Amino acid sequence: MAAPAFAVSGAGLVGAPAPRSGGAERRRRGVELLFGRNKPPCFPRAVRAGGSERRVAVRAGGASGEVMIPDGESDGMPPSSNDGSVQFQSDDLEVPFIDDDSVIEDAGGDTTGSSEPNLAAEEADSEGMTKIDQELSTGEKLRDVPQPGNGEQIYEIDPMLRDFKYHLGYRYSLYRRLRSDIDQYEGGMDAFSRGYDKFGFNRSAEGITYREWAPGAHSAALVGDFNNWDPNADRMSKDDLGVWEIFLPNNADGSSPIPHGSRVKVRMETPSGIKDSIPAWIKYSVQAPGDIPYNGIYYDPPEEEKYVFKHPQPKRPKSLRIYETHVGMSSPEPKINTYGNFRDEVLPRVKRLGYNAVQIMAIQEHSYYGSFGYHVTNFFAPSSRFGTPEDLKSLIDRAHELGLVVLMDVVHSHASSNTLDGLNGFDGTDTHYFHGGSRGHHWMWDSRVFDYGNWEVIRFLLSNARWWLEEYKFDGFRFDGVTSMMYTHHGLQVVFTGNYNEYFGFATDVDAVVYLMLVNDLIHGLYPEAITIGEDVSGMPTFALPVQVGGVGFDYRLHMAVADKWIELLKGSDEAWKMGDIVHTLTNRRWLEKCVTYAESHDQALVGDKTIAFWLMDKDMYDFMALDRPSTPNIDRGIALHKMIRLITMGLGGEGYLNFMGNEFGHPEWIDFPRGPQVLPTGKFIPGNNNSYDKCRRRFDLGDAEYLRYHGMQQFDQAMQHLEGKYGFMTSDHQYVSRKHEEDKVIVFEKGDLVFVFNFHCSNSYFDYRVGCLNPGMYKVVLDSDAGIFGGFGRIHHTAEHFTSDCQHDNRPHSFSVYTPSRTCVVYAPMN
């Protein structure tokens, strides 16, 4: 029998049967059997041991529960909290090896049962679920997230997964156990994901309650403008789970004890010394002029200043056409743009261009602007650079009025390493929200890696996703850096070949994958119209399958290989392009797993990289884009291929399409955030750009200028989006590639009722070129990249009628003849 899968510090193990003598493998298996079967990590139970009580919480990344040890027997166990709680590493223990697979419950089954009296459940009944229910301030009835399925359907969808059933079964059993524990100890996913109603600042009729989970802190006090930063004025008390709390009654006149807009921090005495931190659940933070660290802001505007949403959220579109944006750089002027200007200037543009979704980057507060929003410091706070929370709500409401869904680029894959205004070392320990040691530090990104097996981290991140959907009415998320989450090597210096052993082995962080299952479960359970997209470069099987059938739960995978393929091709000569290779890359997707594809995103626009337009036209873009000047061969080739690459990517690449703002018209230059010179830890000197915003903006005026060739490129992209909106070809059930001719450099395919004809040849045009089709009748041109309005040469007659014959061609029952000029793409639709 194949060996079952176990968890080693969150990594799933699949392989040969465990050795029958000594070693780490024996200890790991014994630990799993001893600890992995009953208690959640958040409610350690006290048991008498050696005459004294000692709580030892054992993580449930693959083992939940606890073991009690007498005082004085803690050598080798790293403390992570002030109350004696520790997190076991499995190699710290020698336990008997149990060579009996029968005691391991069948992978995929329910592992929540236990014959022991559940003392933790009794504690939770009185201190956990009931307390949370009493503290929910919304008055709303708790909503249900559908219960887990059996997770077995994935083996019918992909029979190759059966060889990894123990790993996948273990993964699903851990997910089921966490769901059961959340139901039992927290009152369900709805209550558990409202951590913001318990932690941070919460206002009631009587005053303000502030709570913070900081088990490593020795003392804590709330300080701020409201008490003149006096650390002795409002000292907090700590419970046995490491949660600090204080209640501030209203002032005598009934006003809030903390004025809206005032600065607040929590001062803690920690193992690393005394530190002032921005509350972890802060809803708004700002950087004062001249300051480096941010300040937490108590945000509770009066009712008349709160934004009230006026428009319903749009239904989830069948096909996604996403306009990827960044508020700060969305102005043509060299400045940081605002939520208000984005609402008034950019959103109408997105609608006019034919996109149905806008994805916004850098919403979560990040102290370093140049991080593109990926080094998050305050997870519940919208970036104050662009305006207030009410401004952001107004932006989203306007998008809904225009019929646009709004996706947020959410970062749960890592966090800023800042200690002054971020989560790093929040309670003075290295293992608070994050893994300790090297595993908790992302070596390439210089950031911290969350411990996804920690109960309070799960609460924090689930609540964070819920907060943005509930408070701001976002319509879904694009989860950043998911590959980094799912593997302990973060997908770095690793080549994924598609071998399933790469996905289900030691390097897989099962805790992180299970967290992704939980967050997708939460989002789709409470917000059925919400959309989740995961950025994964590895090709993880089951990634975009529902959790109930055993998948990770995303609606879409971001298909990142396509952009890499285009760059690879553009580095070579056009004559070397292989039509079959292009089609394979675009269509190489897992069955039933939807993809959002793109020819280029913000990544290719950053300084140090090159956009497709720059690869194609390079320096000629500076001098030959005006229509009153002669073109060059580079410009003609670049404009033609720019259009072809985008249409074939949309046509064959997936069920969704993404474009970064400005790239639709071949935006010149690159993105370079304002920065000063710096010296890396290695001693390498990196020059700055004099903190200039000149390259940190989008020149939309270039795409709008009818006297520039950029305008034709923008017009083509607009026509392409509207064509998809009319015919819905990205999500059509019918797709057939009938021709991949290497010598002719021609690709022909059908999507729905449409027939797409691409001629990539650099010089050959073909008259009376026969193309196959499924449906008989008369076809006409509905999109032509060579049209004059799109910067082409106008070689196609749009009034021509193409009648099919019963002559079979390329294995199609019908066919018709076309003229296909070099470097053009034309779409034909039946006129029956």
User: Quick one: three-class SS letters along 39-51?
Assistant: CCCCCCCCCEECC
User: Quick one: three-class SS letters along 786-807?
Assistant: CCHHHCCCCCCCCCCCEECECC
Asked if 642 and 613 count as a contact pair (C-beta separation under 8 A), the reply is yes
The Cα–Cα gap between 387 and 307 comes to 13
**Residue 331 DSSP SS3:** coil
Q: What is the DSSP letter of 344?
A: I
Residues 91, 96, 101: CA angle, nearest 5 degrees = 100
Asked if 720 and 647 count as a contact pair (C-beta separation under 8 A), the reply is yes
Residues in Cβ contact with 403 at an 8 Å cutoff, skipping those fewer than 6 apart: 314, 351, 356
**What does the block give as tokens for 460?**
């924090």
User: Quick one: three-class SS letters along 585-624?
Assistant: HHHCCCCCCCEEECCCCHHHHECCCCCHHHHHHHHHHHCC
Q: DSSP letter string over 395-464?
A: HHHHHHHTT-EEEEEE--S-EE--SSSSSTTTTSSTTSSB--GGGGEETTTTEE-B-TT-HHHHHHHHHH
The residue behind tokens 């309005």 is 789
The Cα–Cα gap between 510 and 453 comes to 9
The Cα–Cα gap between 666 and 624 comes to 13
Asked if 799 and 622 count as a contact pair (C-beta separation under 8 A), the reply is no
The residue behind tokens 């910067």 is 791
Alpha-carbon distance values, 80 to 215, 242, 737 (Å): 8, 11, 58
Residues in Cβ contact with 321 at an 8 Å cutoff, skipping those fewer than 6 apart: 354, 355, 356, 357, 656, 657, 721, 724, 725
**What does the block give as tokens for 800?**
């021509």
The Cα–Cα gap between 506 and 593 comes to 25
Asked if 525 and 517 count as a contact pair (C-beta separation under 8 A), the reply is no
Tell me which residues are annotated as active site: 480, 535
- Residue closest to 525 by CA, chosen among 550, 542, 543, 546: 546
Alpha-carbon distance values, 101 to 97, 171, 799 (Å): 11, 18, 73
The residue behind tokens 């008989």 is 776
Any idea how long the chain is? 832
Q: What is the DSSP letter of 346?
A: I
CB atoms within 10 A of CB 92: 14
**What does the block give as tokens for 66?**
């606890």
CA dihedral for 646, 650, 652, 654, sign (positive or negative): positive
The Cα–Cα gap between 506 and 13 comes to 5
- Residue closest to 572 by CA, chosen among 759, 713, 762: 762
Strands 595-597 and 556-559: parallel
Q: What are the two backbone dihedrals, phi and then psi, of residue 372, each rounded to the nearest 5 degrees?
A: 65, 15
